[in-house]
Amino acid sequence: MIRAILIFFVLLSNTIFSQNKLNLIPYPHNVNINEGNFTLPETFILNSELPKNETEYFKKRLSSDLKFKESNKSDANLVYSQLPKSGKSEQNDEFYSLEITPKQIQIKSYTKQGYFLALQTLIQLIQSNQKDKKIPAVKIEDQPKFAWRGMHLDVCRHFFTVEEVKQYIDYLAMYKLNTFHWHLTDDQGWRIEIKKYPKLTTVGAKRKESMIGAYVDNTFDGKPYGPYFYTQDQIKDVVKYATERHITVVPEIEMPGHALAALTAYSELACTKGPFEPATKWGVFDDVFCPKEETFKFLENVLDEVIELFPSKYIHIGGDECPKTRWKECAHCQALIKKNNLKDEHGLQSYFIQTIEKHVNSKGRKIIGWDEILEGGLAPNAAVMSWTGIKGGVEAAKSGHFAVMTPGSYCYFDHYQGDPQTEPLAFGGFTPLDKVYSYNPIPEELNAQQAKYILGVQANLWTEYILDFKTVQYQIFPRMMALSEVGWGTSDSKNYKEFEGRVINQFKLLDKMGVNYAKSIYNVTGKVISANNGISYELSTSQNPNGIRYTLDGTNPTANSQTYQNPIPVSKSMTIKSAYFENGELKSAVSSQEFITSKTTGKTITLEQQPSENYSFGGAFTLIDGIVGNVKQLGKTWLGFQGKDVVATIDLGQKTQFSEVYFNTLDNKGSWIHFAKSAQVFVSDDGKSFKMIKEIGKDEILAAKGKIKLNVGNQNSKYLKIKIENAGIIPAGNPGADSKAWLFVDEIGAL
């Protein structure tokens, strides 16, 4: 009886804590909820001495909820005090204090930026309590952990209007993000007016057609696209709009790679004579800027106009995915390498970046680039945006350079966020809300001093498969909410479910705004788990788990289908379909998962080399989880290895008879993914001494189109090892030539 009472009070205290948690994203650092409430008046009285620009924004955001008037009296509903900057030894421009009593709301900050952030908190409190017109009495003292909290938008693959870009900026402001990274130039289109070079937009801002559907389909729409670009007056308008919301706009002008649109307009800047055209496909292309005097003069002139338009401290110069094919074949480039005692073409890339940096520094600005600018040595004052993983950020910080962490595995919002079968077509990868929320921008490898060089975190939205702004909204929401809390420094993956509840509450606001957000967290999600030397399928939902219904016969579940209670054993090939029901009504998409089992399914597997961080979902277990990867969706069912072989050893648990071994590999050259070069199969009884029983080469893999089935004779072994050889360096004539190829591998089975 006593134990039952104790359990009751523990549950009660947890409930009270949950109820007392304010519906705020990002959650503040210090929150004290007091007794009483502030009742929203019919007309909200603003002190007339409030900062004007920020207060006008506040009124506009709440114009459909409240009426406003101003008063010069100190007993107005909202008053503001600017704190003296001498009051603290280390000032934070984004610090604010928000105190709500039953009588008044008071904001204190050192700057207008802090005041603006306090207003975002107040707006959320007002909107989430609009129904009963009461805001809880509370005192909040708050400031972000990271100085750079960013969102990126690619407008080159698909273009978005000035009004849509402004909406995007408004979303950043709502959730206290402070940096907008505007990707303005690429192979598929040049999107910024440069008055000295008009052909950049008359020629480079359009393409003859666009790829549609999955990359492997190689299908095009046959429709001219553009010319689409922003005039300099429009750029100024957007920058002003962002500045009013205390958001810094960082422009990106790609170099030396991703330059086809510019080379189409000014072919003399290339290593060859062309002809060129803006790319109609997605991917990486061999034709890049040639590091000669006229190229540097062109880029310096372009950057001069860009710097005049953007007051940001940093100018992003790209630097990523620059194939060295043309440079290797170019007499000028080879002479330049020799003249400057450069080691190779990677050294030439460093020379290119450092030349540009000197010019940007001379204008009082600094450069930032993707982590490939580390190739050949980092420019003296450059900052790194670490996207291929955390390695670039770690290397930069350890050498005393600032870094922004934006690893693809956590921060690429063009990836799938739910079951790919129920989601719009995306680039690939699998980055659900909980994974974004779990990210810690400070790598464990850094000590406290080195960690100071981590400026913050950013998410990127590449638009190869995003044709309109509704899809932009779908891809960033609700993941941007998780990013905002990560950047603010109050995320805690142990409390993810509580955060998820706040997200669902925020959906009411997004509904009111007409935002097309993803409802993936309502769907039933499945996870393959190891169980009894095999596998089971664990289902979950953000809602009441008692509402999950599932079938095993391939039919869609109904309200009368089997209720999910425990993980579903998968002992044979089958299809599990699941959905969430509420009061007998279907509330989610139907999720479907096919399993193809074999004698390796669910067994113990080890890898000699680990997959790339961006394509490592589920780790080695992904290769024996009974799920075969979809060639059109590089999501959670494939492991990706760049420049590495796959060497997997499977412990079958006991001596097991089998006569066929199979695995899948992938070919998607536009994304630098190539079929394996060869494969070998080995067996062992002790896990130490292995005998090769089968070997195949590239021709056989090509003939099988990556779906490899090998007759290995009658085997009876405890251990099975398979080595799948990476294609190595991508050969000339292919996207990404001279770079390390990707090897994508899926299910390894034995029959």
SS3 annotation, 161-180: CHHHHHHHHHHHHHCCCCEE
Cβ atoms of 174 and 247 closer than 8 Å: no
Contacts of 314 by beta carbon, 8 Å cutoff, 6+ apart: 250, 365, 366, 367, 368, 383
Instruction: Compute the average pLDDT of residues 706-728.
Output: 96
Higher pLDDT, 388 or 692: 692
Identify the band that residue 6 occupies on the pLDDT scale cut at 50, 70 and 90.
very low
How far is residue 664 CA from its own chain's centroid? 27
* H helices, E strands: number in the chain: 19, 37
Residue 532 pLDDT > 90, yes or no? no
Closest by CA to 203, choosing from 215, 189, 217, 214, is: 189
Lowest mean pLDDT among 3-17, 147-161, 664-678: 3-17
Sign of CA dihedral 244, 247, 248, 249: negative
pLDDT at 87: 58
Helix 345-362 vs helix 331-339: angle between axes, to the nearest 10 degrees?
Answer: 80
Residue 90 pLDDT > 90, yes or no? no
Instruction: Compute the average pLDDT of residues 106-122.
Output: 97
How far is residue 534 CA from its own chain's centroid? 33
Superfamily designation of domain 604-750: Galactose-binding domain-like (2.60.120.260)
Residue 45 pLDDT > 50, yes or no? yes
Question: What DSSP string runs through 625-685?
Answer: SS-PPPTT--STT-EEEES--EEEEEEEEEEEEEEEEEEEB--BGGGTB---SEEEEEEES
Residue 7 pLDDT > 50, yes or no? no
Lowest mean pLDDT among 88-92, 433-437, 463-467: 88-92
Lowest mean pLDDT among 141-155, 420-434, 480-494: 420-434
Identify the band that residue 613 occupies on the pLDDT scale cut at 50, 70 and 90.
confident
Cα–Cα distance, 1 to 7 (Å, whole number) = 10
For 195-249, the pLDDT digits (tens) are: 999 999 999 999 999 999 988 888 999 999 999 999 999 999 999 999 999 999 9
Residue 11 pLDDT > 80, yes or no? no
Residue 43 pLDDT > 90, yes or no? yes
pLDDT at 12: 36
For 367-387, the pLDDT digits (tens) are: 999 999 998 888 889 999 999
Residue 19 pLDDT > 70, yes or no? no
pLDDT at 88: 58
CA distances 553 to 493, 520, 573, 599, 729, Å, are 36, 24, 11, 22, 46
Identify the band that residue 746 occupies on the pLDDT scale cut at 50, 70 and 90.
very high
Identify the band that residue 620 occupies on the pLDDT scale cut at 50, 70 and 90.
very high
pLDDT at 330: 97
For 629-684, the pLDDT digits (tens) are: 877 666 678 899 999 999 999 999 999 999 999 999 999 887 789 999 999 999 99
Cα–Cα distance, 118 to 123 (Å, whole number) = 9
Closest by CA to 614, choosing from 706, 522, 744, is: 744
Residue 384 belongs to what H/E stretch? strand 383-386
Look up residue 360 and give its two tokens.
């940007």
CATH of range 24-142; options 3.30.379.10, 3.30.428.10, 3.40.640.10, 3.40.1550.10: 3.30.379.10
Identify the band that residue 178 occupies on the pLDDT scale cut at 50, 70 and 90.
very high
**Cα-based torsion angle of the residue sequence 495, 500, 501, 506 in order, rounded to the nearest 10 degrees:** 130
Higher pLDDT, 78 or 738: 78
This prediction has a pTM of 0.91
Identify the band that residue 91 occupies on the pLDDT scale cut at 50, 70 and 90.
low
For 564-611, the pLDDT digits (tens) are: 999 999 999 999 999 999 999 998 889 999 999 999 999 999 999 999
pLDDT at 74: 86
- Annotated catalytic residues are 186, 258, 321
Domain ranges of the chain: 24-142, 148-520, 523-595, 604-750
Cα–Cα distance, 581 to 545 (Å, whole number) = 10
**DSSP three-state, residue 344:** coil
When the pLDDT of each residue in the chain is averaged and rounded to a whole number, the result is 93
For 307-348, the pLDDT digits (tens) are: 999 999 999 999 999 989 999 999 999 999 999 999 999 999
Identify the band that residue 16 occupies on the pLDDT scale cut at 50, 70 and 90.
very low
Instruction: Compute the average pLDDT of residues 559-563.
Output: 96
Cβ atoms of 549 and 527 closer than 8 Å: no
pLDDT at 92: 87
pLDDT at 543: 83
High-pLDDT (> 70) share of the chain, %: 96
pLDDT at 217: 84
**DSSP three-state, residue 85:** helix
Residue 9 pLDDT > 60, yes or no? no
CATH of range 148-520; options 3.40.50.150, 3.20.190.10, 3.30.2130.10, 3.20.20.80: 3.20.20.80
Helix 469-476 vs helix 162-174: angle between axes, to the nearest 10 degrees?
Answer: 20
Look up residue 351 and give its two tokens.
């020379």
